[in-house]
A and B are shown apart, each in its own frame.
Chain A
Amino acid sequence: QSALTQPPSASGSPGQSVTISCTGTSSDVGGYNYVSWYQQHPGKAPKLMIYEVSKRPSGVPDRFSGSKSGNTASLTVSGLQAEDEADYYCSSIRVFGGGTKLTVL
């Protein structure tokens, strides 16, 4: 299976909202409500932020939200904070996106 498609970079100022897209096919993103999102800071292991498209694990701030339309899933980070600067990866059915580097300006 091919990797899911994410934009290589995204940015926003503190307090703003930013949305990262993740495009797959009807065999993965579009066919199942099984999309997850991971945050990875440099030198650290990935951390689960969203699962099953829009569910947040305990401890993840509600500033992070997920959605899906057709073959494209999205992660929205509202009220950007400096600590949100990281790489973000989507995944569906064991296929990862290429990652998006989020910069907080």
Chain B
Amino acid sequence: QVQLVQSGAEVKKPGASVKVSCKASGYTFTSYGISWVRQAPGQGLEWMGWISAYNGNTNYAQKLQGRVTMTTDTSTSTAYMELRSLRSDDTAVYYCARELADWAFDYWGQGTLVTVSS
């Protein structure tokens, strides 16, 4: 069965960086892209960006351009999301999700809470 398993919760200080991992299993990793979606406490879902697991092409949300980098390691079927220059409003649960060709997200990781606090 398809599973996306994310790394554990992180606490970071403002200005630091965080890197969240998402290990895929149960399907051919390179056949689908991975999107990252975040959810601030009590708020809605925000799409952050997408990476092709086939060729590494990326597409980032405009508001995060320059602060986010998404990568994959096909040898371990793992996707990574790094966010730099963290601010308090980056505090959120970060999800990875498998993205279909029609931009729907059919499988999600369990979420990783990133807390930014001095």
Contacts and interface: CB of A to CB of B under 8 A. Distances in A.
Contact of B103 (A3, A91, A97): A91
A5 to B, nearest CB: 12
A89 B44 CA distance: 8
Contacts of B35: 94
Interface residues of B, number: 20
Interface of B: 35, 37, 44-47, 50, 95, 97, 100, 102-111
Interface of A: 3, 34, 36, 38, 45-48, 51-52, 57, 89, 91-99
A21 to B, nearest CB: 16
Given A91-B104, A95-B47, 11 more contacts: A36-B104, A45-B95, A45-B110, A47-B108, A48-B106, A51-B104, A89-B45, A91-B47, A93-B103, A94-B103, A96-B44
